[in-house]
A and B are shown apart, each in its own frame.
Chain A
């Protein structure tokens, strides 16, 4: 059992798979963004520039860390690694794992592990002892206080709707929304499902620092915010955490918002899941880069006025059904 868990942790769907898939997703997003901005995007390394994100990470790991003399470099590297490996641990709960570690109430373990990644990003900014990353981290912290509860409540209510009574994310991701009941109960279920998906999507923009809720990384105002003082391996760790978090959350989101019409096993299910994933990533990327960045107080108001009430209503309905 332990050897299987270790193999899952290191190879599939753990570190190697998650990092590779995250960087492929980054290439895909960069191509879409380039197309929106009338650029070519990644081109030179590998076919269609597919290996460009890998080359970027390798280059950053070879460079030296340039940092303030009072910044705790060793601590920052450790924090970055915890952020990355917590996401690797979280993916073992999902059905992607060959030996999924699913149990009742595992959704709480998943949420707890993904919070490590957000805290790691936050501390990477604070630890650099500089003003701009400090402001960026402060803004990230403000949004973190709101986006995490909204995300947690949305995911819990989706899990409760798809796999009632289990609170198991692994179970919910391998099922689809069953509409076995009739009448008003069915309508309420669909309403709750739509509200949870909306609030999940909204929280996703904030948690993953996507436009319009990426005020913590405002380039022109605070010189890149969180990441402005990171360099070399520290920057590559930040990129890996961010991309892995993005991939994991997009996977959960795409699996839950577009339920496939049957319980999944085999090649067709895998291909459909991949297609669904890239479709959702594409739509969110286009939506994100079509919108302008909002101010921090506007971002807080959006989450407080829309995200939180929607998720709460959805969860209330889901528990009552």
Chain B
């Protein structure tokens, strides 16, 4: 089994078992919904329509942007460059390994 097949088989098994377990779990899980505590702000800001993929994606990327831009504890874009640097290094290492192996 080569590495690509291995990755596909294991990812496939992960998603397959997750889906089957999810179907089984959703039948037995009980959910109690709580109202948001609002101090004056309109409730529509909290609405998330998961049936509309475009809105969902927009909200997800919005949240990601918020996470990167607003919640970052160190404050500057320069710090984010430093944080992304390790990933660039990993990519470079994979490139070097692939190059050396021909």
Q: Which residues of A contact B (CB under 8 A)?
A: 5-6, 9, 15, 63-70, 72-75, 77-78, 81-82, 84-86, 88-90, 92-93, 101, 103-106, 108-109, 112-113, 116, 126, 129, 134-135, 137-139, 141-142, 145-146, 148-150, 152-153, 156, 167, 232-233, 296-297, 300, 304, 308, 312, 315, 319
Contacts and interface: CB of A to CB of B under 8 A. Distances in A.
B55 to A, nearest CB: 12
Given A108-B3, A145-B86, A70 B29 contact: no
Contact of B87 (A15, A73, A145): A145
14 contacts: A9-B17, A64-B31, A66-B34, A68-B33, A70-B36, A70-B47, A73-B29, A81-B18, A85-B14, A101-B9, A137-B67, A142-B73, A148-B86, A153-B90
A74 B30 contact: no
Nearest to A139: B73
Identify the 4 closest CB pairs spanning chains A and B, nearest first.
A149-B86, A138-B71, A64-B30, A81-B18
Given A167-B97, A319-B100, 15 more contacts: A6-B13, A64-B29, A65-B29, A70-B47, A72-B50, A82-B18, A103-B6, A112-B7, A113-B10, A116-B14, A126-B67, A129-B48, A142-B73, A145-B87, A146-B83
Nearest to B1: A103
Interface of B: 1-3, 6-7, 9-11, 13-15, 17-19, 21-22, 25-26, 29-36, 46-48, 50, 63, 67, 71-74, 82-84, 86-87, 89-90, 93-94, 96-97, 100
Contacts of A167: 97
B91 to A, nearest CB: 10
Contacts of B33: 67-69
A66 B94 CA distance: 44
A72 to B, nearest CB: 5
Contacts of B50: 72, 75
B35 A69 contact: yes
Given A68-B36, A78-B22, A81-B25, A312 B89 contact: yes
Contacts of B25: 77, 81, 233
Given A81-B22, A112-B7, A134 B34 contact: no
Contacts of B30: 63-65, 232
Contact of A82 (B2, B15, B100): B15
Nearest to A147: B86
A188 B14 CA distance: 40
B29 A232 contact: yes
Given A69-B36, A103-B1, A129 B14 contact: no
A308 to B, nearest CB: 6
